[in-house]
């Protein structure tokens, strides 16, 4: 039997000005803001929104229902999750079971971090390998599994 072969592609993407994309990538039905960068082997799914001046490094996966603010950094191998397997198995096509992730501005997410459906405020650093399982509402540096506050940060004047 012959396999059904699908090709990675850039399809129906709304790009801002001066965006750089390094192929191969799989970007479809998403938005990428001005002056952003998307590295190779990245997937950004439909409905995802990437703000301006963001950098998405190689092998990152940004699924549906994810929104990143401006000036965000998503390091290599970061994975976003929208299905919490609330029924004990993958939701599959039942998008009513999927959850939204909202990332503020000036957020840096370290290599191989996993971000479950949460809200993360502005001015946050997520350490490499961390697993974010709960909302983050205070600027700071977070690390671990589950990610916990390591040190507080005061918001920058530009983050207002």
Sorted by where each begins, the domain ranges of the chain are 12-85+97-151
- Mode of pairing for the β-strands spanning 37-38 and 55-56: parallel
- Mode of pairing for the β-strands spanning 31-32 and 148-152: unpaired
pLDDT, residue 130, reads: 98
pTM exceeds 0.85 for this model: yes
| Chunked mean pLDDT (size 10), the chain, 160 residues | 92 98 97 98 97 98 97 98 89 87 98 98 98 97 98 68
pLDDT, residue 86, reads: 86
- Mode of pairing for the β-strands spanning 140-143 and 148-152: antiparallel
Omega within 30 of 0 (cis) for the link into 146: yes
Within 8 A by CB and 6+ apart from 146, the residues are: 131, 132, 133, 134
Domain 12-85+97-151 has CATH 3.50.50.60: no
pLDDT, residue 105, reads: 98
Question: If we measure between CA atoms, which residue out of 4, 15, 48 comes closest to residue 30?
Answer: 48
pLDDT, residue 46, reads: 96
Contact 83, 45 (CB under 8 A): no
Q: How far apart are the first and last CA of the chain?
A: 58
* 141, two tokens: 């540096």
pLDDT, residue 159, reads: 52
pLDDT, residue 6, reads: 87
């Amino acid at each position: 039997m012959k396999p059904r072969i699908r090709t990675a592609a850039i399809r129906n993407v709304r790009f801002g000005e001066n965006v750089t994309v390094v192929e191969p990538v799989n970007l479809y039905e998403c938005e990428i803001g001005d002056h952003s960068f998307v590295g190779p082997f990245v997937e950004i799914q439909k409905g995802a929104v990437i703000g301006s001046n963001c950098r998405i490094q190689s092998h990152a996966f940004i699924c549906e229902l994810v929104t990143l603010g401006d000036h965000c950094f998503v390091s290599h191998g970061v994975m976003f999750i929208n299905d919490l397997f609330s029924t004990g198995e993958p939701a599959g096509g039942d998008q009513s079971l999927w959850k939204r992730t909202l990332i503020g501005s000036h957020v840096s997410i370290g290599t191989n971090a996993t971000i479950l459906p949460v809200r993360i405020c502005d001015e946050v650093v997520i350490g490499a390998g961390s697993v974010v399982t709960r909302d983050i509402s205070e600027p700071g540096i977070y690390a671990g599994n589950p990610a916990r506050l390591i040190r507080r940060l005061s918001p920058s004047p530009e983050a207002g």
